[in-house]
Structure 1
Amino acid sequence: MPRVLGLLWLLLPGLAALEPLSVGLAIGVASALTGYLSSNPRFYCRYVECCPGAGHRLNAAALKAQLDAKLFGQHLAKDVVLKAVTGFNTNPSPKKPLTLSLHGWAGTGKNFLSQILAEHVHPAGLSSKFVHLFLATLHFPHQEQVKEYKEQLQNWIRGNVSACPYSVFIFDEMDKMHPGLMDAIKPFLDYYEQVDGVSYRKAIFIFLSNAGGDLINKAALDFWTSGKSREEIQLKDLEPMLSVGVFNNKNSGLWHSSLIDRNLIDYFVPFLPLEHKHVKMCVRAEMTARGHAVDEKIVQAVADEMTFFPKDQKIYSDKGCKTVQAKLDIQEDIAMSNNQAEG
């Protein structure tokens, strides 16, 4: 009712100047409109974001197409996440929430993938009232307040899942989370039908972390050194090592966590370090997104500005594609200045 009255007030700016009888009539119309919208949810949800109904199905083909077109060099992450999300979404009665832990160095696509996934569950993506992003350094900055954070986190998750069972929770900077904090959400990730009358089984939890990146990079380099293609790397080659490494890492946010000990994280998803060719793909994609024609000279110039490791072979970008936008700005400015000078 308040939402409809507010909308009516915007549509009728002279409402405040109306005499009481007219105002009463307007409120009556608003009440009738509220009743109509309540009985016609499809119409109502065209204008107000609604939680998906039980029959909602994620468009797996569209998700795959977007990941193929926009996420570069991450065959493992794309395959694992696509299968996990599709299976979870088509299961009418999942036994627990879907919980994914994404690991890798900065700039490899963890945030990007989580945003794309959120948009396919809720079209508004990170702007959706059903998608919730937590940043360790912003929302949980003080070690001495961990007890209060745990209580706040539980209340926040409980309230939002009560409002929409299909809520998505993204925890970024997991490697900066205070030890023990994430154990507060263990009851919500477990195999319980309900917790205090609320079912969490249709929610999605995503953890993003740089922890384990060194382990992933070493494994990728070992494959390269042995003459194998990165596409030959399988989840079984990395996931066991990754889960153990994160569990024993005091700076992982999941150090000795019950979430790992109780096997409540469904997949540890490795993001591989990006090679020269992947950086160039990022540059081309960014130029296209800006509406610019792809200039291979600029693409190469941006790639040349990036730094790579190991020191001798220079195979992998040490920042992934994280600084591509800033370096592209500079190279496009240089190209424009050169064109003007030549003209």
Structure 2
Amino acid sequence: MKAMHAFLLICIVLTCGAQVKAFDPTVIFEQKCDFDWISFRAAGLQGDLKSKLFGQHVALPIILKAVNGFMSNDNSEKPLVLSLHGPTGTGKNFVSNMIADNIYKEGINSRFVHVFISTLHFPHVHQIDTYKSQLQQWIKGNVTNCGRSMFIFDEVDKMHPGVIDSIKPYLDYYNKVDGVSYRKAIFIFLSNADEEGIKQTALDFWKKGQDRSEIRLKDMETLLSTTAFKSKKSDIWISSLIEQNMVDFFVPFLPLEYTHVVQCVMAQMKTKGLEPDPEVAHKVASDLDYFPKFERVFSVSGCKTITSRLHFYIHY
């Protein structure tokens, strides 16, 4: 049932400042760190990204290259570190789930996949020292138990930089840290911090009459190099990680257009076992908010609210 019970314990410990027992690698779990439970499916990841991720022509090839290259290299010099940035509802969490689904038999529910949400697990500034200690212990313990572990940090733009600083040694080019190798682990950071710059890039292309497909990674890198990580103190750690070459791939997610939202609705209907209905899909997409206000080009919430809205438009 996933290691959620462990996460809840971590959450309680971190927010209350209590003591947590040291990780015990001798505890027997049903899932094992072997080929039966961990096996990368490159074709599966490629198929999922191409059939389920919409409007992200910049992000898709980067993710495929990053994960395929890392998982096919038995002698990686460092763990894989991905930093996914962009507006809400554009697919950052979705992609994280796809990666997990194609590496672990239990996908995101695997006991080898660990999800941290900054506002839930690290909410109190005055408990930073406790968070740092517990986070180091949690990561070290789980990587000791299984080198092919995945750690997903959501809402890192809301995380105090001191917390994430505590794991920087685990992301670097070290053979071992305190006797533990982290070279097979995967770290994924999810952030909305740079969404304004990414939105502006997409808007600029649209205003110039350029097709969305013409946007390239270099267009984002140029803009973000001058605007990212400077508006919020919480972004300083990201800048530090990039400057020290700890982040392997910076992956921007573009705001979604109306056609992409329609695709999301159709895909969601199929996932729910329903016959995809274009009329219903257009109704759902039409009722969402878009920007600019009058031109209604980009979805404000992306595909995030599709699931909760869909049942209002379906006639059983």
TM-score category, normalised to shorter length = 0.7 to 0.9
Give 1:249 shift.
3.3
- Structure 1 residues 224-272: Cα deviation after superposition (integer angstroms, max 9, x where no partner): 2222222221112213533554432325444475323312111110000
Partner Cα distance (1:255, 1:195) in 2: 20
Indicate which of 211, 214, 217 corresponds to 2:193: 211
Indicate which of 290, 296, 310 corresponds to 1:308: 290
User: Any idea what SS the aligned residue of 2:273 has?
Assistant: coil
**Residue of structure 1 in register with 2:56 after alignment:** 74
Deviates more, 1:158-167 or 1:237-246: 237-246
Are 1:100 and 2:82 an aligned pair?
yes
Are 1:233 and 2:215 an aligned pair?
yes
Partner Cα distance (2:226, 2:140) in 1: 29
Give 1:128 shift.
0.7
Matches within 5 A, 1:67-216: 67-216=49-198
Partner Cα distance (1:240, 1:90) in 2: 31
Partner Cα distance (2:128, 2:61) in 1: 36
- Structure 1 residues 121-147: Cα deviation after superposition (integer angstroms, max 9, x where no partner): 112122111100001111101011111
**Residue of structure 1 in register with 2:270 after alignment:** 288
Are 1:51 and 2:51 an aligned pair?
no
How many residues end up aligned between the 2 structures? 286
Given the superposition, is the C-alpha separation of residues 153 and 249 from structure 1 closer, same or farther in structure 2, using an over 3 Å criterion?
farther
Q: Percent same amino acid among aligned pairs? A: 52
Q: Report if aligned partners of 2:165, 2:237 keep a CA contact under 8 Å in 1.
A: no
User: Any idea what SS the aligned residue of 1:102 has?
Assistant: strand
**Residue of structure 2 in register with 1:25 after alignment:** none
Q: TM-score, normalised by structure 1?
A: 0.79
Partner Cα distance (1:296, 1:99) in 2: 38
Give 1:57 shift.
5.8
Indicate which of 266, 271, 275 corresponds to 2:253: 271
Given the superposition, is the C-alpha separation of residues 280 and 252 from structure 1 closer, same or farther in structure 2, using an over 3 Å criterion?
farther
Given the superposition, is the C-alpha separation of residues 325 and 57 from structure 1 closer, same or farther in structure 2, using an over 3 Å criterion?
closer
Given the superposition, is the C-alpha separation of residues 116 and 256 from structure 1 closer, same or farther in structure 2, using an over 3 Å criterion?
closer
Given the superposition, is the C-alpha separation of residues 273 and 176 from structure 1 closer, same or farther in structure 2, using an over 3 Å criterion?
same
Indicate which of 309, 314, 320 corresponds to 2:302: 320
Q: Report if aligned partners of 2:88, 2:192 keep a CA contact under 8 Å in 1.
A: yes
- Structure 1 residues 179-229: Cα deviation after superposition (integer angstroms, max 9, x where no partner): 322111110001111111111111000000111011111111111222222
Q: Which amino acid counterpart does residue 122 of structure 1 have in structure 2?
A: Y
Q: Report if aligned partners of 2:78, 2:172 keep a CA contact under 8 Å in 1.
A: yes
Partner Cα distance (2:63, 2:225) in 1: 17
Q: Report if aligned partners of 1:176, 1:251 keep a CA contact under 8 Å in 2.
A: no
Deviates more, 1:201-210 or 1:284-293: 284-293
> What stretches of structure 2 of length at least 5 have no aligned partner?
1-28
Q: Which amino acid counterpart does residue 75 of structure 1 have in structure 2?
A: H
Partner Cα distance (1:124, 1:244) in 2: 41
Partner Cα distance (1:107, 1:175) in 2: 16
Partner Cα distance (2:225, 2:128) in 1: 24
**Residue of structure 1 in register with 2:45 after alignment:** 63
Partner Cα distance (2:225, 2:186) in 1: 19
Q: Which amino acid counterpart does residue 43 of structure 2 have in structure 1?
A: A
Partner Cα distance (1:266, 1:71) in 2: 21
> What stretches of structure 1 of length at least 5 have no aligned partner?
1-46, 337-343
Q: Report if aligned partners of 2:39, 2:102 keep a CA contact under 8 Å in 1.
A: no
- Structure 1 residues 124-182: Cα deviation after superposition (integer angstroms, max 9, x where no partner): 12211110000111110101111111111111111111111110000001121113221
User: Any idea what SS the aligned residue of 2:205 has?
Assistant: helix
Partner Cα distance (2:139, 2:223) in 1: 30
Structure richer in helix, relative to its length: 1
- Where relative contact order (Cα < 8 A, 6+ residues apart) is larger, the structure is 2
